[in-house]
Amino acid sequence: PVYGTFTEGTAIYNHSCPEEMIILFGNESSGIDEMLLPWITEKIAIPEFPPGKKSVESLNIASAVAVIVSEARRTKQVDDYSK
């Protein structure tokens, strides 16, 4: 699957990430390039905190990558930790 990061989408914390996946990140001001949008099979997002309160317009790309990739990796390793 190909995941795109958006301000609106399935919260990454409520998502089970597959073993193999592609994650597209967009430019901080304009998002993912329009020509890539047809390839995206699911939209994911970093939820606001606290819920319902928009504290920042967007995270910078480095912060967004760190949060998304860390959570994707963590969800894949949960089974390994329980053994």
| Residue-wise DSSP of 3-59 | EEEEEEEEEGGG-PPPSS-EEE--BTTTBS-GGGGGG--EEEEPPPSSTT----S--
Q: What is the pLDDT of residues 32-80, one digit of tens each?
A: 999 999 999 999 988 877 666 666 666 788 988 999 998 888 877 655 5
The matching CATH number, chosen from 3.40.50.1360, 3.10.620.30, 3.30.70.3400, 3.40.1280.10, for 2-81 is 3.40.1280.10
Single-letter residue type at 83: K
Give pLDDT, residue 49.
73
Give pLDDT, residue 77.
62
Q: What is the model's pTM?
A: 0.77
Structure token pair of residue 7: 């301000």
Give pLDDT, residue 30.
84
Ranges of each domain in the chain: 2-81
- Give mean pLDDT, residues 14-22: 83
